[in-house]
Amino acid sequence: MDNAQNISAGLVKNLRQMTGAGFVDCKNVLVETGGDLEKAVEVLRKKGLAKAQKKAGREAKEGLIYSYIHAGGRIGVLLEINCETDFVARTAEFQELAKNIAMHIAASNPLYIKREAVQPEIIAKEKEIYREQLATMDKPQAVKEKIIEGKLEKYYQDVCLLEQAFIKDPSKNISAVIDNDIAKLGENIILKRFVRYQLGE
């Protein structure tokens, strides 16, 4: 029997809901993975990421400024998110992405968009703190340096928006959430800037 006939419409629907990919792509990947939903999700994510990386160099000058007010007016977020065309900027998917990221910023309070934005003096200060924490540890210096690098990676994941675990799905970071929408919408998407206001700060 043809493998394609063994793939139920319900299974395809489940995969579409999980990944946002098209019907044909979902069916083909389910055939390829023998109906294994978890493997199919992984394959589609890898394919989506490959597509997203191809689009990453394209210019993105459209988009929107999105505002979000949280906690009864106690926290506010302004976010600029860019795409390539006004058409995509007006889609429900793009606006939902902007809303999700703004809500995430309100909840997680990132300090920077990406690690490249962290000033060298801040990184140096963090490393100095880690070295002081490890001063009494009886380990070779090379081991201590690896621990310091690990702590620095954790710092980036804590303070850089693109590297933070998404509050709605901690299995993905914000960068992966954006890549998923790049693959779905077929345009490059760039998180340009944000500001978070908290009452009394």
pLDDT given at position 102: 97
**Domain spans, the chain:** 3-55, 62-113+160-198, 119-159
pLDDT given at position 44: 76
8 A C-beta contact, residue 81 and residue 189 = yes
* Residue 135, C-beta contacts closer than 8 angstroms, at least 6 positions apart: none
* Residue 58, C-beta contacts closer than 8 angstroms, at least 6 positions apart: 84, 187, 188
Specify the CATH superfamily of domain 62-113+160-198. Elongation factor Ts, dimerisation domain (3.30.479.20)
Q: What is the DSSP letter of 7?
A: S
With residues binned 3-state (H G I as helix, E B as strand, rest as coil), the percentages for the chain, rounded to 5, are: 60, 20, 25
pLDDT given at position 87: 93
Q: Is the fold of 3-55 the same as that of 62-113+160-198? A: no
pLDDT given at position 58: 67
Measure the CA angle with vertex 173, ends 25 and 22; round to 5°.
Answer: 15
Residue whose pair of structure tokens reads 């990132």 in the numeric block: 110
pLDDT given at position 1: 35
Specify the CATH superfamily of domain 3-55. Ubiquitin-associated (UBA) domain (1.10.8.10)
pTM: 0.69
Both structure tokens of 182: 């790049």
pLDDT given at position 2: 46
pLDDT tens string, the chain, 201 residues long: the values are 345 557 788 888 888 777 666 778 888 888 988 888 888 888 877 776 555 556 666 677 899 999 999 878 999 999 999 999 999 999 999 999 999 999 999 999 999 999 999 999 999 999 999 988 888 888 888 888 899 999 999 999 999 999 999 999 999 999 999 998 988 888 889 999 999 999 987
Closest CA to 48 of 84, 15, 3: 15
